[in-house]
A and B are shown apart, each in its own frame.
Chain A
Amino acid sequence: MDGVYLDNAAATRMDERVFEAMKPYFFETYAVATSEFGYSLGIEAKEALDDARLTLASLLGGAPEEFVFTSGSTESSNLAVKGVAQALAKKKGTHIIVTKIEDFPVLNSAKALERQGMTVTYLETDETGLVNLEQLKEAITSDTVLVSIQHANQEIGTLQDIKAAAEICEEKEVLFHTDATHTFTRVPFDVRKIPADLVTVSPHTIHGPKGVGGLYIREGTPIAKLMDGGFQESNRRAGLENIPGAVGFAKAAELVTPEENEQLKEMRDLLIDRLLSEIPDTILNGHRKKRVPQNANVTFHYVEGESITLHLDMRGFAVSTGSACFSKSLEASHVIMGIGGDHERAHGSVRFTLGRYNTGEDVNAAVDAAADVVKSLRKISPLGKK
């Protein structure tokens, strides 16, 4: 792409090294992963899958048997939420707890369960997006089967105190799931230190392939199978394994370094500082410090997000907005509304998400363009004038 791509939370350009790692599994080792009593090509495929699984499980601090490949983070979170709910509905209870600002896979899985008769508590957050852990403690009852709290928010980047949340659940003996789609390899997460039972991860945010994802499932966690078919993934997820995807996932995860995360953080801070200081009537969405390295999200008051993104697109910048006009449901961002924002705050919100291929120069150019666009749109706007 010519221009500057700043929507890395949605999808990323794949790293060539990831593509190279995947390539042999399309053209050479394309066989199904057979059992160890299969034929050579199938055994080779199985070994590649096992290696990828080991790499990814280790990065989370878990054992390979605890890592299930899926078709992406949407499926992972569906499997976690619905799978546990289904497994425990008769044995334990029918109550689950999620946050108001979860990404759609968890949120809409919870709503689907609600329509089937389960009870759902939607936890509030403060204005930075941090979940109220006292409310979590109070919300857990003997009927609660699962708590799902995201590690970081998809729109505003706020990092939850996931260890404290997981420990509350451990103490109350309730299963805990976290959607770590936006933190995997970017923010340290170790299941030996954080007692999470289920963790959703995906390579699409870290320059890996689309169409593959993973779910960490702690040993012994009761979980129903959602996808019926064969006995793949230790009988937890049926379907022909996506071996190139799995290999690419592992490669993408290995390529992320602490140095890169530091660089992203520096660019993020430059972006946030310049946007807030140089464009009047601009506020930060999310927490200033407890934030993923790659996310900046601000609201430019008095202007609407789709107009901003379209103007920026004409100048070669790809960003996204929480405005209703931009969304497929025509509804304003449930995240900005969920943290107590009004419609205006949601409609004027713009998310910039960074990746490996961005530079400080990109960031500076984006701020200059945004400043210009916001200024010209404010001239047209009936709001914010004295």
Chain B
Amino acid sequence: MKTPYSEKVIEHFKNPRNVGRIEDADGKSTEGSPACGDMVSVYIKVDDDTKVIEDIKFESYGCASNIATGSIITELAKGKTIEEAKKVTWKQAAEALGGLPPVKAHCSVLAVEGLRAAIRDFEERHGLITEREPTTVEILRKRLRHVMNPLTGLDAVRTELIKDIQVEDGTVKVVVDLPETHQFANVIKEDIKEKVEPLWDVKEVIVKFSE
């Protein structure tokens, strides 16, 4: 069989680890990207004293890279403290899987976001986070690092695909350095909107192309 996926990806795709739900989870999240067609739910059980992730389960609606990344992040996070688990990156997950095709980066980054969101949920529920920050260009830049450039498999900020970010009165303007007719223009636009729209004080997201 011919496939662009590594053996490890195929193995996790065929036999995903830690699948399912935790009914009395201490933290949970569902991260979804309808435009890409992927969705991940992550459930964690955290020890109150040590803050160690004792159990973790995931569910995935998505392609092979999404399922495999969901599976690998549960393995990477299990037994770690929430502070350690927060630092698990997409790159580590991809490396643990023996690499992922660049074009699939944006499908797999979701699982890593799911893990972080589940930890954030735990922190919020346990009063570890207090107030909401207003959205700044810096926050947006950080968030948009989760938009993956399908051409390179690297994030859109670092690869300078995102040329400009502005925020004013709840309106966010993002300029993408691609012609509007580019093969991936629509998918990148949707991806940016999905990452920015959920921010509590954002009312509108305008994505512009450079040419």
**Interface residue? B67 (CB, 8 A):** yes
**Interface residue? B3 (CB, 8 A):** yes
CB distance from A315 to the nearest CB of B (A): 10
CB distance from B29 to the nearest CB of A (A): 11
Q: Which residues of chain B are within 8 angstroms of A343 by Cβ–Cβ distance?
A: 34-35, 37
Q: Mark B37-73, 1 if CB is under 8 A from A, else 0.
A: 1111100000000000000000111111011000000
User: Which stretch of B85-93, B115-123, B124-132, B182-190 is in the interface?
Assistant: B182-190
Q: Which residues of chain B are within 8 angstroms of A325 by Cβ–Cβ distance?
A: 36-38, 62-63, 104, 107
Q: Which residues of chain A are within 8 angstroms of B63 by Cβ–Cβ distance?
A: 304, 306-307, 310, 323, 325
Per CB-CB distance, the 6 closest pairs between chain A and chain B, nearest first, are A382-B59, A347-B37, A306-B63, A325-B63, A382-B41, A330-B187
- Is the CB–CB distance between A328 and B183 below 8 Å? yes
Contacting A310 at CB < 8 Å: which of B13, B60, B107, B184?
A: B13
Alpha-carbon separation in the docked complex, A329 to B63 (Å): 15
- Is the CB–CB distance between A310 and B39 below 8 Å? no
The A/B interface has a contact count, at CB < 8 Å, of: 79
**Interface residue? A302 (CB, 8 A):** yes
Beyond A307-B67, A343-B35, 5 additional pairs, beta carbon < 8 A: A302-B61, A304-B62, A324-B37, A325-B37, A380-B16
Alpha-carbon separation in the docked complex, A310 to B106 (Å): 19
Which A residues are within 8 Å of any B CB, using their own CB? 115, 302-307, 310, 313-314, 323-325, 328-332, 342-344, 346-347, 379-383
- Is the CB–CB distance between B67 and A330 below 8 Å? no
Alpha-carbon separation in the docked complex, A323 to B65 (Å): 14
Alpha-carbon separation in the docked complex, A382 to B36 (Å): 16
- Is the CB–CB distance between A382 and B19 below 8 Å? no
Q: Which residues of chain B are within 8 angstroms of A310 by Cβ–Cβ distance?
A: 3, 13, 63-64
**Interface residue? B99 (CB, 8 A):** no
Q: Which residues of chain B are within 8 angstroms of A331 by Cβ–Cβ distance?
A: 186-187
Alpha-carbon separation in the docked complex, A324 to B65 (Å): 13
CB distance from B36 to the nearest CB of A (A): 6
Contacting B181 at CB < 8 Å: which of A115, A344, A347?
A: A115
- Is the CB–CB distance between A304 and B16 below 8 Å? no
Which B residues are within 8 Å of any A CB, using their own CB? 1, 3, 13-14, 16, 19, 30, 34-41, 59-64, 66-67, 103-104, 106-107, 150, 181, 183-184, 186-187
Alpha-carbon separation in the docked complex, A83 to B186 (Å): 28
Residue among A305, A331, A332 with most chain B CB within 10 A: A331
* A/B interface sample: 19 pairs, CB < 8 A: A304-B61, A307-B62, A310-B3, A324-B37, A324-B187, A325-B37, A325-B104, A328-B183, A329-B183, A330-B103, A330-B106, A330-B184, A331-B186, A332-B37, A343-B35, A379-B19, A381-B59, A382-B61, A383-B39
Q: Which residues of chain A are within 8 angstroms of B19 by Cβ–Cβ distance?
A: 379-380
- Is the CB–CB distance between A382 and B30 below 8 Å? yes
Contacting B34 at CB < 8 Å: which of A313, A329, A344?
A: A344
Q: Which residues of chain A are within 8 angstroms of B41 by Cβ–Cβ distance?
A: 382
- Is the CB–CB distance between B183 and A307 below 8 Å? no
- Is the CB–CB distance between A330 and B59 below 8 Å? no
Q: Which residues of chain B are within 8 angstroms of A329 by Cβ–Cβ distance?
A: 183-184, 186-187
- Is the CB–CB distance between A383 and B37 below 8 Å? no
Alpha-carbon separation in the docked complex, A384 to B30 (Å): 14
CB distance from A232 to the nearest CB of B (A): 32
- Is the CB–CB distance between A323 and B37 below 8 Å? yes
Alpha-carbon separation in the docked complex, A382 to B20 (Å): 8
- Is the CB–CB distance between A382 and B67 below 8 Å? no
Alpha-carbon separation in the docked complex, A303 to B66 (Å): 12
CB distance from B9 to the nearest CB of A (A): 10
Alpha-carbon separation in the docked complex, A37 to B201 (Å): 79
Q: Which residues of chain B are within 8 angstroms of A380 by Cβ–Cβ distance?
A: 16, 19, 59-60, 67
- Is the CB–CB distance between B187 and A382 below 8 Å? no
Contacting A381 at CB < 8 Å: which of B14, B61, B150?
A: B61
CB distance from B55 to the nearest CB of A (A): 17
Q: Which residues of chain B are within 8 angstroms of A347 by Cβ–Cβ distance?
A: 37
Q: Which residues of chain A are within 8 angstroms of B181 by Cβ–Cβ distance?
A: 115
CB distance from A104 to the nearest CB of B (A): 12
Q: Which residues of chain B are within 8 angstroms of A307 by Cβ–Cβ distance?
A: 13, 62-64, 67
Q: Which residues of chain A are within 8 angstroms of B39 by Cβ–Cβ distance?
A: 382-383
Q: Which residues of chain B are within 8 angstroms of A344 by Cβ–Cβ distance?
A: 34
CB distance from B21 to the nearest CB of A (A): 8
Q: Which residues of chain A are within 8 angstroms of B16 by Cβ–Cβ distance?
A: 380
Instruction: Write the chain A residue with the least CB distance to B60.
Output: A380
CB distance from B154 to the nearest CB of A (A): 16
Instruction: Write the chain B residue with the least CB distance to A324.
Output: B37
Q: Which residues of chain A are within 8 angstroms of B104 by Cβ–Cβ distance?
A: 325
Contacting A313 at CB < 8 Å: which of B1, B14, B150?
A: B1
Instruction: Write the chain B residue with the least CB distance to A325.
Output: B63
Instruction: Write the chain A residue with the least CB distance to B62.
Output: A304
Instruction: Write the chain A residue with the least CB distance to B181.
Output: A115
CB distance from A302 to the nearest CB of B (A): 7
Alpha-carbon separation in the docked complex, A302 to B62 (Å): 9
CB distance from A309 to the nearest CB of B (A): 9
CB distance from A325 to the nearest CB of B (A): 4
Alpha-carbon separation in the docked complex, A382 to B114 (Å): 13
CB distance from B121 to the nearest CB of A (A): 15
